[in-house]
A and B are shown apart, each in its own frame.
Chain A
């Protein structure tokens, strides 16, 4: 349950209060960025996606009837947008991403590159969950709410995701440790 004041803000935003919506932008754009980044693995694209998602949300805000569901709905829009961008632009496999000019810092280490490819091999929902967890340090219940998951299913998702990454990264981690 969200607090009454928070709910009031969401209600006002649904009813077209621009100030309220801007307040929501301030508080929610980081989780949205986390989701977009999780799917796209690229900061610039993720930022643009968040922008698109916010504009889309403002335009179709009247569709939400329950203020409680507003944050989850925002996250859904962000996920859709990110997925669209991903399908449109991504023809290059992610493992070659570091070569794309201006995308990442050029001086990424081997382990970072391995990490990127391991992340890329995960399903997009798992990536979004991971980045919400590591960017925003959200607790499990909030992440489940935002991603529209049933209660308790996140543990399984994160468990599988981390396990599969662990298996892929095993050699790289071992080399870094030694």
Chain B
């Protein structure tokens, strides 16, 4: 373990807050585990505070820097020679000639600056030291430390000592020491420090105990130069202090919150404790909670000096949850009232004498009488106030709040049941009315509604509250009314009058809330969907047979269609719905229809609830089909012949058409040629 080996380093750095956050966390984690390191941690904390205290005491005083400066100036006076030395210094520093020249120039500038600036500082210093000297002279009568010491150094120290005397607050932190008393006496004759706490305390002490303060002042005034004497004088107020404290009027009160096992036990013990410490129980109050636990408050009055011991004893009673301890100082108000009371008594005396003198003027008499009444009322009021304060001061008040353990434990549990039921039925309205008819004082229908939408679908919802003893019967009745699609029960245990666990609390069943939704069974989604094809030769006949089979197995045909295509293929599409329990039988029987092909099954696993699987619907969509003509009408011998004849006829027609075209093309030329030949023959015949 790394930290454990270096625990000393970690502890020191922790005290001086030099640890990084990670290291700090690691250290604290280790401290939790390791007892020896924890011990070391505690010790080093104590030692750190001791060291801090010691060094705080030894810290140099405020004038320390001034002394250092003065001494330095004293020992190294400003001389011309120093300038020469300065130049030599600089020459050593700068190697090159150029640098040396620059340094000389700089030195000259510096010297000039010093000569002008130095004068001003010197004057300031002089004024300062004169001031210091005067102050030391002023306090020499009270402090009277050095008379013969002409030496400069010792005089400086005298100033330091005096500065200490002027600052009593500086030593405030070492309260364990007898030096505290010395501060008190110093402060009482040196009101120069009015803000200091000790000064305030000493002032109050002087007013509270004048006979004690008087000799101190005298002692201070007649103090000679001897230090030891001063020491002796300080012991006087130190002795005088306790009576002044005892004269204080302090009201002490405390509040304690305890968690205890048994209230009565605790009360008896508190009574015993109070008697031991010469106190008494002022009031008790207790209150019983719904879960049988007691809670209460006891107010005890004990003598103030026994208060701490009493509180210590209380801790033993149970677990301490909270404790406050308060002290109210009414000294000033008390003595003010006391003084006013005395004044009022004197006034009363005087008024009584006035009455005795028997003046003639009745008006005067009435006036005096009235005044006397007023003063007497004041006196009584003040006496009452003082008496009240006396009683408060005489006894300290301890308010103890007691609470028994496991106050929060619940008184009882309520078992709340909530059931959801979804029903499918062919006749929604009938079931709806049946459910409504269940209503009785123990079965209350809280909500019932019947919906019919545009497409004619009917659904209904019924909510009811059922007394716990009736609930099982009613629920089973409701379940019998249709096919249960979903049934969910939610149970909740609600604590009453507290929270958490309890071994003793009773559990009670609350009313059962039942919500039923009813829908037509057509709307129900199939639990399982199957598609398959059956190949057969006689489609129409087999489709009819299939419908019969389905009817036998309690199924219902939802859709059915028949079609035939030009090639003689026939298709019959049938969709069926059968209860799951008959599904297998139906599938088996399908084999008698023909060859079953392409079976695909899809099952929807519905989450939650109890599903009545046997009655859940299964959808089947079956296609019964035939293969049709094996050879199509476009093939075969006759078709080939027919095609050949028709094609050859087409060819002949085509060639005839071509011949026609050729004739139409050649004819004009032939006619023209024949004409020319005929003309030539005629011309020849005419010549011959």
Contact = CB atoms under 8 A, between A and B. Distances in A.
A160 B8 contact: yes
Interface stretch (A1-9, A51-59, A88-96): A51-59
Contacts of B92: 62
Contacts of A149: none
A107 interface: yes
A107 B177 contact: yes
10 contacts: A16-B86, A16-B110, A17-B114, A29-B65, A37-B58, A134-B52, A162-B48, A166-B47, A170-B43, A173-B50
A26 B16 contact: no
Interface of B: 6, 8-13, 15-16, 18, 40, 43-44, 46-48, 50-52, 54-55, 58-60, 64-65, 67-69, 71-72, 75-76, 78, 86, 89-90, 92-93, 106-107, 110, 114, 117-118, 121, 157, 176-179
Contact of A134 (B44, B51, B64, B76): B51
A35 interface: no
A135 B69 contact: no
A10 to B, nearest CB: 14
Contacts of A150: none
Contacts of B121: 19
Contact of B78 (A18, A112, A166): A18
Interface string A47-69: 10011001100110110010000
B76 A58 contact: yes
Contacts of A156: 9
Contact of A133 (B16, B47, B157): B16
A141 to B, nearest CB: 9
Given A18-B114, A62-B92, A135-B59, A159 B12 contact: yes
Contacts of B114: 17-19
A166 B69 contact: no
Contacts of A76: none
Given A19-B121, A111-B50, 12 more contacts: A18-B114, A19-B114, A19-B117, A25-B72, A30-B60, A58-B72, A115-B50, A158-B16, A159-B11, A160-B9, A162-B44, A163-B12
A163 B152 CA distance: 42
Interface of A: 15-19, 22, 25-26, 29-30, 33, 37, 43-44, 47, 50-51, 54-55, 58-59, 61-62, 65, 105, 107, 109, 111-112, 115, 130-131, 133-135, 139-140, 155-156, 158-163, 165-166, 169-170, 173, 176-177
A29 B114 CA distance: 23
B13 A158 contact: yes
Given A134-B51, A135-B55, A162 B12 contact: yes
A9 to B, nearest CB: 14
Nearest to A159: B9
Could you tell me the dominant secondary structure of chain B's interface residues? helix
Nearest to B78: A18
Contact of B46 (A17, A44, A159, A177): A177
Given A17-B110, A159-B9, A160-B8, A140 B18 contact: yes
Contacts of B118: 18
Contact of B89 (A16, A51, A131): A16
Contact of A51 (B6, B72, B86): B72
B72 A22 contact: yes
Given A22-B69, A158-B12, A166-B44, A33 B64 contact: yes
A166 B40 contact: yes
B176 A109 contact: yes
A65 B59 CA distance: 32
A62 to B, nearest CB: 4
Nearest to A139: B18
B34 to A, nearest CB: 15
B106 A15 contact: yes
A50 B68 contact: yes
Contacts of A130: 51
Nearest to A116: B54
A169 B72 contact: no
A75 to B, nearest CB: 15
Nearest to A52: B75
The 9 closest A-B pairs by CB, nearest first: A159-B9, A163-B8, A134-B55, A159-B8, A158-B12, A159-B12, A62-B89, A29-B68, A16-B86
A29 B66 CA distance: 10
Nearest to B117: A19
Given A29-B68, A33-B60, A139-B18, A15 B12 contact: no
B341 to A, nearest CB: 45
Contacts of A61: 89
B50 A25 contact: no
B312 to A, nearest CB: 17
A125 to B, nearest CB: 15
A51 B152 CA distance: 14
A18, A43, A58, A115 pick with most chain B CB within 10 angstroms: A18
Contacts of A58: 72, 76
